[in-house]
C-alpha cells in the first residue's frame, strides 16, 4: 500500500480534532485484542457476542485492514456466528475494489444503507492487517467522518461493543502506530515521526491512553515509550496475542484470554533531553495477567481470582537477573515474574542490534526495581503472576561490536 507522508501530515490536526470531538460519553464497551486471535479462544469470542447483545446479536465485521478482505471477512463472520452471533460483512476495504483503492473504500463508507445497518447493529469487529487502511477508509480526504464512522460512534455511545484485533486494536487510541519500522530498536534509537511512524487513530478509548498490540510476543513495549513521550501520553496499554482487554463504560479494564497485558505509567517519569539518545527515569510498568482488572481513570489494580500476595519466605530466584534481549518474545514479562519471585530488588535487561545494523554499537539498558508502591500476586496452583508498578529506568549504552572469540 502506498502511504503518502505529506497527505498523512495534512490530516493529523483535522483527524485528531475529530477524534476528540467524537470521544464523548460512551455507554458501550471495547474489546481490544492483541492480534493472533484463535478461533478456539471461546472466552474472547463469547465476550464480544455477549457485549453485542447475546445470542442472535447483529455484529458488523469490517475487514478493512486485511490483505484479503473477502476471505478475512468471511472467516470472522463464521467465527462470530459459531459463538451465537448473526454477523455480517460491512464491505469497506480498499483491497475489495483493487490494489488499495482508498477512494472506493471511502465511497462505500458513505453508503447510507450500510451506515444504517452498522448503526442498528449491537457491535462491530475490525480484523487485522494494515491499520492505515482503516483510518484512511473511514475518514474522508479532509479528515471528516464518513457515514459508517459516525454510525460506529452512534453504536458505541448507545451501549454497543467495538472490537478489534491487531490493526483493529491499534485504531482504538487517538494516536496509533501508522507505518513504523518492523523492529523495535530503530524506534528506540530514532524516535517517531508524525505522519510516518504515528498518525491519528479513531480514538474509541479516549485521548489519554495509547494502545499497542502483539506486545509480549514482539517486545513492543520498547517502541511504546518514545511514542508516548513524543505525543504526551502518560498511560499506555499493550495487549499480547490471543488476549483481549475489555474496557467498560466506567473505564474498567479486564484482561481475558491466553496471556496478559502491560500497562505503562509515565505520570511520574522524566527524560533528560540534554543527553544524547532515548532515556527515561522513574516510569512504572505493570503486567496484568488474565483475570486482572485495572481502572484507566483511577489507575488502580485488582488481581484476578485466587491471586494471593507473593510470600517472600518461599521465593525461588536468588541469583542476579540479567536478560540479554529484553525485547525478545515474552522476555519482559518473564523478567518481571522472576524479579517478584526473588529476594532481589532489581533486575536488568539490555537491547541491541547485530553488527549488520545501522549503528550496532548503540543499545539500551532497562533497569527494573521493586519500590514501595510495587505489588505482586501469584496463583500458587498455576504459578501465574500479576506484577504492578515496578519502577523502570532506561538509558542508552554502547555495546562493543563485533564480538571476538576469547582465545
pLDDT at 12: 44
The closest of 343, 301, 297 to 321, measured between CA atoms, is: 343
What is the rounded distance in angstroms from the CA atom of residue 114 to the CA atom of residue 250?
A: 30
pLDDT > 90? residue 97: no
pLDDT at 1: 38
The closest of 218, 271, 213 to 392, measured between CA atoms, is: 271
pLDDT in tens, 152-179: 999 999 999 999 999 999 999 999 999 9
What is the rounded distance in angstroms from the CA atom of residue 238 to the CA atom of residue 291?
A: 16
Q: Are 393 and 367 in contact (CB under 8 A)?
A: yes
Q: What is the pTM of this model?
A: 0.92
pLDDT at 313: 81
Helix or strand run (H / E) with residue 398: strand 384-398
Domain residue spans in the chain?
Answer: 5-265, 308-398
Give the C-alpha distances (Å, rounded to integers) separating 49 from 12, 45, 72, 77, 237: 34, 6, 18, 12, 23
Give the number of other CB atoms < 10 A from CB of residue 332: 25
pLDDT in tens, 184-226: 999 999 999 999 999 999 999 999 999 999 999 999 999 999 9
Give the C-alpha distances (Å, rounded to integers) separating 60 from 109, 208, 400: 13, 27, 53
Q: Dihedral angle at the C-alpha atoms of 252, 367, 199, 19, nearest 10 degrees?
A: 20
What is the rounded distance in angstroms from the CA atom of residue 345 to the CA atom of residue 374?
A: 11
Using a pLDDT cut of 90, give the percent of the chain over it: 82
Give the C-alpha distances (Å, rounded to integers) separating 104 from 98, 99, 100: 9, 11, 9
5-265 CATH choice from 3.40.50.300, 3.40.50.150, 3.40.50.880, 3.40.50.1820: 3.40.50.880
pLDDT > 60? residue 287: yes
In eight-state DSSP terms, residue 370 is: -
Residue whose grid cell is 494502545: 211
Neighbouring residues of 211: CB distance < 8 A, sequence distance ≥ 6 = 32, 169, 170, 172, 173, 176, 201, 205, 236, 237, 238, 239
pLDDT at 11: 45
Give the C-alpha distances (Å, rounded to integers) separating 335 from 46, 286, 318: 32, 12, 13
What is the rounded distance in angstroms from the CA atom of residue 300 to the CA atom of residue 21?
A: 27
Give the C-alpha distances (Å, rounded to integers) separating 206 from 171, 174, 235: 11, 7, 11
What is the rounded distance in angstroms from the CA atom of residue 283 to the CA atom of residue 267?
A: 7
Residue whose grid cell is 457515514: 147
pLDDT at 317: 75
Give the number of other CB atoms < 10 A from CB of residue 358: 10
Amino acid at each position: 500500500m502506498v502511504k503518502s507522508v505529506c497527505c498523512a501530515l495534512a490530516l493529523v490536526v483535522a483527524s485528531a480534532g475529530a477524534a476528540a470531538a467524537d470521544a464523548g460519553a460512551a455507554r458501550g464497551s471495547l474489546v481490544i485484542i492483541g492480534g493472533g486471535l484463535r478461533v478456539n479462544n471461546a472466552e474472547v469470542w463469547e465476550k464480544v457476542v455477549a457485549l453485542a447483545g447475546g445470542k442472535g446479536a447483529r455484529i458488523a465485521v469490517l475487514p478493512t485492514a486485511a490483505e484479503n478482505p473477502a476471505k478475512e471477512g468471511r472467516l470472522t463472520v463464521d467465527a462470530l456466528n459459531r459463538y451465537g452471533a448473526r454477523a455480517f460483512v460491512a464491505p469497506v476495504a480498499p483491497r475489495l475494489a483493487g490494489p488499495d483503492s482508498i477512494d472506493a473504500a471511502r465511497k462505500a463508507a458513505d453508503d447510507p444503507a450500510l451506515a444504517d445497518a452498522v448503526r442498528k447493529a449491537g457491535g462491530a469487529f475490525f480484523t487485522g492487517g494494515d491499520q492505515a487502511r482503516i483510518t484512511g477508509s473511514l475518514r474522508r480526504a479532509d479528515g471528516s467522518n464518513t457515514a459508517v464512522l459516525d454510525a460506529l460512534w452512534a453504536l458505541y455511545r448507545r451501549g454497543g461493543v467495538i472490537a478489534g484485533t491487531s490493526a483493529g486494536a491499534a485504531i482504538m487510541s487517538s494516536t496509533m502506530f501508522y507505518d513504523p519500522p518492523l523492529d523495535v530498536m530503530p524506534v528506540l534509537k530514532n524516535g517517531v515521526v508524525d505522519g510516518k511512524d504515528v498518525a491519528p487513530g479513531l480514538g474509541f478509548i479516549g485521548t489519554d491512553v495509547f494502545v499497542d498490540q502483539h506486545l509480549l510476543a514482539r517486545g513492543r513495549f520498547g517502541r511504546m515509550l518514545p511514542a508516548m513521550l513524543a505525543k504526551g501520553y502518560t498511560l499506555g496499554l499493550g495487549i499480547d496475542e490471543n488476549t483481549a482487554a475489555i474496557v467498560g463504560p466506567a473505564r474498567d479494564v479486564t484482561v481475558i484470554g491466553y496471556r496478559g497485558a502491560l500497562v505503562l505509567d509515565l505520570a511520574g517519569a522524566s527524560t533528560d533531553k540534554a543527553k544524547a539518545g532515548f532515556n527515561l527515569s522513574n516510569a512504572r510498568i505493570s503486567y496484568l495477567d488474565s483475570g486482572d482488572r485495572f481502572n484507566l481513570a483511577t489507575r488502580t489494580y485488582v488481581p484476578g481470582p485466587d491471586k494471593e500476595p507473593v510470600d517472600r519466605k518461599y521465593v525461588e530466584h536468588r541469583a542476579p537477573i540479567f536478560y540479554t534481549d529484553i525485547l525478545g518474545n515474552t522476555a519482559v514479562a518473564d523478567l518481571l515474574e522472576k524479579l517478584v519471585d526473588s529476594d532481589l530488588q532489581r533486575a536488568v535487561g539490555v537491547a541491541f542490534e547485530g553488527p549488520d545494523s545501522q549503528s550496532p554499537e548503540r543499545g539500551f539498558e532497562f533497569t527494573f526495581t521493586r519500590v514501595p508502591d510495587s505489588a505482586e500476586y501469584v496463583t500458587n496452583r498455576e504459578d501465574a503472576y500479576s506484577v504492578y508498578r515496578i519502577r523502570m529506568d532506561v538509558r542508552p549504552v554502547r555495546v562493543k561490536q563485533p564480538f571476538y572469540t576469547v582465545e
